[in-house]
Amino acid sequence: MGNRENRDEASNMLVGENVPAKNAIEVKGLVKSYKQLKVLDGIDFAVKQGTVLALLGPNGAGKTTTVHILSTLLLPDSGKALINGLDVVKEDDKVRGMIGLTGQYAALDEYLTGIENLHMIGRLYRLRHQDVKQRTRELLELFDLVEASNRAVKTYSGGMRRRLDLAVSLIASPPVIFLDEPTTGLDPRSRLIMWKIIKQLVSSGTTILLTTQDMDEADHLADRIVVINGGKIIAEGTSDELKQRIGSERLEITVAEASDFDEAKKVVDEDGLHFDVKRRTLSVVTKGGVHQLKQVLSDLDDAGIEVESVSYRSPTLDDVFLTLTGHTTEQSNGETKDPPKG
């Protein structure tokens, strides 16, 4: 995927004192359709060098399609995408020399050891043998895989495979990395390890585009967040900016099992009301403070609705997504699979 000169040139672009950060990734009017299904409908965004942008949305929103176009695996129908100023369509060979990609599923040879997988990818990058060996040692230590490095990957746990998959994408020290839902299915400990590694990469100047359905992940890692739904960008900003869009504190009420949930919805009929039938919760933005709380509880009591619990809390990214789309990321609308390039 390219040559060493391309990577060195891209890395040098990250260095410089008192120089405003440039855009490592630029997307302008990107469109992609599969027959009658328009997966991307003219999206625009940019990612500054040395930052993390989280592309947030449900399955089928267009996140993976965007990553596949940016990583030269898919051709767009129209629009333009640039990586460090290089067109992903017209200059795809050069682009491949400065990017790393970790997909939703580990792309590893299960019959090779951890070391052998890293060595194989290093040679495919046409790195010098000594550089491959040195970089392999560094990555195995960084990802806490030294003890398992001589074992076949088929013996690895899910978390270990995910860490090795990310290590493989870093063998050539690319300045831009695409992480497509990198922590899906990981246990809490493995997820925290991945978060720590991602932060270390960014602190060293790496630019990361992260797709996720995990609100905590986006909140924890991203400098900026782009919310995509139905192939369109519906919101963009920092985590705090997005939260401010939906108001201040939220009142959440859990209705007891013995009470009529549909009747409770009618009683708490306020602007911006959201509900979760499975959890039996009603949620509204608080505008009247304690007075509003007293009034809502009084109305429910008058209607014979038993309340199991009441809470006040600050808005979360879950609330943002729920407000913008009418459903949570878990309530996905089906996953779109990308066909091979061409």
Q: What is the CATH classification number for the domain harbouring 290? A: 3.30.70.100
pLDDT for 176 = 96
150 shares a domain with 253: no
Q: Give the domain-ending residue among 243, 261, 286.
A: 243
Biggest CA pair distance of the chain:
77
* Structural domain that includes position 58: 4-243
pLDDT for 131 = 92
Band (335; pLDDT cuts 50, 70, 90): very low
* 324 found inside a domain: no
Q: Give the domain-ending residue among 223, 243, 263.
A: 243
* 207 found inside a domain: yes
pLDDT for 328 = 54
pLDDT for 327 = 58
Q: What is the CATH classification number for the domain harbouring 14? A: 3.40.50.300
pLDDT for 60 = 84
* 283 found inside a domain: yes
- What are the pLDDT digits (tens) for 149-205? 999 999 998 889 988 988 888 888 899 999 998 888 788 888 888 898 899 889 999
- What are the pLDDT digits (tens) for 41-89? 999 999 999 999 999 888 888 999 999 999 999 999 999 999 999 999 9
pLDDT for 158 = 85
Q: Is pLDDT of 90 > 90?
A: yes
pLDDT for 329 = 52
- pLDDT > 90: percent of the chain: 46
264 shares a domain with 222: no
* 101 found inside a domain: yes
Report the Cα–Cα distance between both ends of the chain, in Å, rounded.
18
Kindly state the average pLDDT of the residues 274-300.
Answer: 82
